[in-house]
Amino acid sequence: MLLRAGTVITAGTVITDGAVRTEGEEVVQVGPAASLAPAPGEEVEELPGRTLTAGLVDMHCHGGGGASFSSREGSEVRAAVGYHRRHGTTTMVASLVSAPVDELAVSLALLADLTEEGLIAGSHLEGPFLAHSRCGAQNPAVLVPPDREAVDRLLRAARGTLRMVTLAPELPGALDLVRQLCDAGVVAALGHTDATYDQTMAAIDAGATVMTHLFNGMRPVHHREPGPVVAGLERPEVCCELIVDEHHLHPAVVRDVMAATGGRRTALVSDAIAAAGMADGSYELGGLAVEVQGGVARLAGGTSMAGSTVTVAEAVASAVGTSGAGLVDVVRSATATPASLVAPGAGRLEPGRRADLVVWGPSMVPTHVMVGGRWSVHPDSGVAA
């Protein structure tokens, strides 16, 4: 199949009047449309005025479409993946909030099955090794100190599919945990933390490479104690997650972080919960009651935000439209950068990669979604995931 679009964006390159050729499940050619003539009998998809990118990659998502990744029902996981896929996220890591280790092990085993099936790219544990003082919407009753034996058990349950663990670096034993995770090939992320600048730097020195939803759930910046935010922004090996939903971060913060770090060091994440795509109302996250009003999720009776209700595609549109960040950097932050951390085979529009593609309309809303060379969403044929 040959797709010809007004603009094709690869990982850092913009091709005006570009084209992408797919064969089976793979991309085989990318370049100017003038250099890629249709082969005899080849199907051609004309997309004038549209933008074509790699499929989106979400490295931090708890659910959507009324379904949660914390559920022990595979049907719920499939429903959440389907919801985000319809909105352009073709690769996603299933995130679990803090829970007792026994429960997390059971959930990781289910997610391992679905990872091996190819439905998801792996799992992410957001806790339970987090700071009580910055727990946000995490259940404080299940938070525990870093524990090597607990991590070993969780790693065994995940069978090589655990991609990332978020922890608070100031907790006793946290640096050893960072090293343990890195030795196991798991990304160590820092979040829900009251760490100082020096404590954060020590964790990065130990191997941590991600700041979980930068600014949110962590000690704020102070001119005498910069804290984890400044430490993460300073270190070139660290990727900073951003929740761009116009609630978690002011547009100016998004714009300035993107300008300072570029798309190679930022990852747009949804941090979506089951309420994504659903009506306002009452929901649950990790055993805690959540109320959604105006699309904003908060703990019932409190002020703490409880994840988001957006997709990565909506984050892209917001980052470009409201924050004014550069389109190429934003696309990289939603594709190649998160993929490099949790799904190295995804997130890049180039020959030899799986044909996961998104077609965007003029207002940066996905109109077509391709997964593995097949349309998952196509407006003319009515195909939907």
Tens digit of pLDDT for each residue in 56-72? 999 999 999 999 999 98
pLDDT at 203 over 90: yes
- Among candidate residues 133, 113, 142, 7, the one with its CA nearest the CA of residue 125: 142
Task: Give pLDDT, residue 300.
Answer: 95
Q: Is 271 annotated in the active site?
A: yes
Question: What is the percentage of the chain residues whose pLDDT exceeds 90?
Answer: 94
3-state secondary structure 269-320: CCCECCCCCCCCEEEEECCEEEEEECCEEEECCCCCECCECCCHHHHHHHHH
**Residue of 58, 245, 271, 329 marked catalytic:** 271
Q: Are 190 and 208 in contact (CB under 8 A)?
A: yes
Residue 42 reports pLDDT greater than 90: yes
- Compute the distance between CA of residue 19 and CA of residue 13 in angstroms, rounded to an integer: 13
Write down the pLDDT at residue 34. 96
What mean pLDDT comes out for the span 341-356?
96
Instruction: Tell me the C-alpha distance between 67 and 70, whole Å.
Output: 9
Q: What was the pLDDT predicted at 383?
A: 67
Distance of CA 241 to the CA centre of its chain: 8
Work out whether strand 357-360 and strand 366-371 pair parallel, antiparallel, or are unpaired: antiparallel
252, pLDDT greater than 80: yes
Q: Which residues contact 160 (CB under 8 A, 6 or more apart)?
A: 112, 185
64: CB partners within 8 A, 6+ apart: 80, 83, 84, 270, 272, 273, 274, 276, 277, 311
What are residue 123's DSSP bridge partners? 94, 162
Count CA atoms closer than 13 A to 185's CA, side-chain side.
12
Residue 35: exposure state from Cβ atoms within 10 A (0-12, 13-18, ≥19): exposed
d(CA 114, CA 123): 10
Structure confidence by residue, pLDDT tens digits, 152-195: 999 999 999 999 999 999 999 999 999 999 999 999 999 999 99
Report the 10 Å Cβ neighbour count for 159: 14
Other CB atoms within 10 A of residue 42 CB: 11
pLDDT band of residue 380 (cuts 50, 70, 90) is: confident
Residue 331 has pLDDT above 70, yes or no: yes
- The reported pTM is 0.97
The whole-number pLDDT of residue 11 equals 79
What is the reported pLDDT for 313?
A: 98
Q: How far apart are CA 194 and CA 131, in angstroms?
A: 7
Asked if the model's pLDDT at residue 213 lies above 60, the reply is yes
Phi-psi region of 281 (alpha: psi -120 to 50; beta: other; left: phi over 0): left
pLDDT digits (tens, 9 = 90+) for 109-148: 999 999 999 999 999 999 999 999 999 999 999 999 999 9
Rounded to whole angstroms, how far apart are CA atoms 324 and 330?
10
- Give the number of other Cβ atoms within 10 Å of residue 322's Cβ: 14
Coil, strand, or helix at residue 367?
strand
pLDDT > 90? residue 325: no
Length of the chain: 385
DSSP 141: G
Cα separation values, 205 from 97, 192, 236, 237, 238, Å: 26, 19, 12, 10, 11
The predicted structure's pLDDT at residue 384: 65
Contact 97, 305 (CB under 8 A): no
The pLDDT value given to residue 363: 87
Helix, strand, coil % (nearest 5) of the chain?
A: 30, 30, 40
- pLDDT value of position 196: 98
69-73, 169-173, 219-223, 266-270 — which is least confidently predicted?
A: 69-73
Asked if the model's pLDDT at residue 381 lies above 80, the reply is no
